[in-house]
Chains A and B, each alone.
Chain A
Amino acid sequence: MDARFINPFLEATINVLKTMAFVEPRPGKAYLKKDNLAGGDVSGIIGFTGVASGSMALSFSSECILKIVSNMLGEEIKEINGDIKDAVGEITNMVSGAARRTLESLGLSISAAIPTVVAGKGHSISHIMTGPSIIIPFETDHGPFVVDVCIGDIK
């Protein structure tokens, strides 16, 4: 996987969550994922095609996403409901849009599909590509989440 694809997603994730939800995510050390478990309780997944194909997932712990969406909406949400799933789809879209803008400025143009959202303890994530994905774990004051990127070689 070309490392140039990773940073734009990280920067976009931090930017979107800071801007829209006033949450400061702190990235941890990236590692290669060995299974297809999501790592969180609610995940947004989006596929890409273009100079390279692949997909990206954001997978949030319950406590983290409840705080993020509560901040975005200006009202406290206490359980994983339709608003949360809707918001995870929108956050995934925004991260993808912001990352694609950066990638385009690097000459790496990709277009994105519509995100899907999966919820539930221990759910799995199916990437478009079969290779290993890179996980970047994040901590926030309200719990962890991960960014999971799996992109094939540049065509």
Chain B
Amino acid sequence: MDSDQNMKILIVDDFATMRKVIRNLLRQIGYQNVIEAEDGVDALKELRSQKIEFIISDWNMPNMSGIELLRAVRADSELRDLPFLMVTAESLKENVVEAVKAGVSNYIVKPFTAEVLSEKIKKILEKK
């Protein structure tokens, strides 16, 4: 198995069902080492308590949104280099520009297939 496929991935989404959907897509493309958080605050707790190697986060969430989580991660000396894939239902130019400025690794627009998710992850890992 490719060593990248053992990496621990954190899925951040306030919808439990969407977390399950992404977990299911990840399983289809060989990523089984997955944990979940329901918003940015919960995600930061997980990120600071264990070694996580990749973040897949929704944009729209209560408490701390995806863009706020991204900024918090990039401002943290321990976490700043983590790959961060933003999931969004929009592809508004302003949002994309905001995410790129904040240091997002890539973004993916819902709905998406397992193949598209796989390509996004691989592209991010190649750039590392």
Contact = CB atoms under 8 A, between A and B. Distances in A.
Does B associate with A? Answer: yes
Contact of B15 (A20, A75, A90): A90
Query: Chain A: interface secondary structure?
Result: helix
Contacts of A20: 21, 110-111
B90 A15 contact: no
Given A19-B112, A94-B111, A73 B90 contact: no
B24 A74 contact: yes
Interface residues of A, number: 22
Contacts of A97: 88-90, 109-110
Contacts of B18: 86, 90
B105 to A, nearest CB: 21
Interface residues of B, number: 19
Contacts of B124: none
A94 B110 contact: yes
Give the top 5 A-B pairs by smallest Cβ distance, nearest first: A97-B89, A74-B24, A86-B17, A19-B111, A87-B17
Contacts of B113: 19
Contacts, number: 55
Contact of A15 (B15, B91, B92, B111): B111
Contacts of B27: 74
A90 to B, nearest CB: 5
A81 to B, nearest CB: 10
Contact of A86 (B16, B90, B92, B112): B16
B80 interface: no
A53 to B, nearest CB: 19
Contacts of B51: none
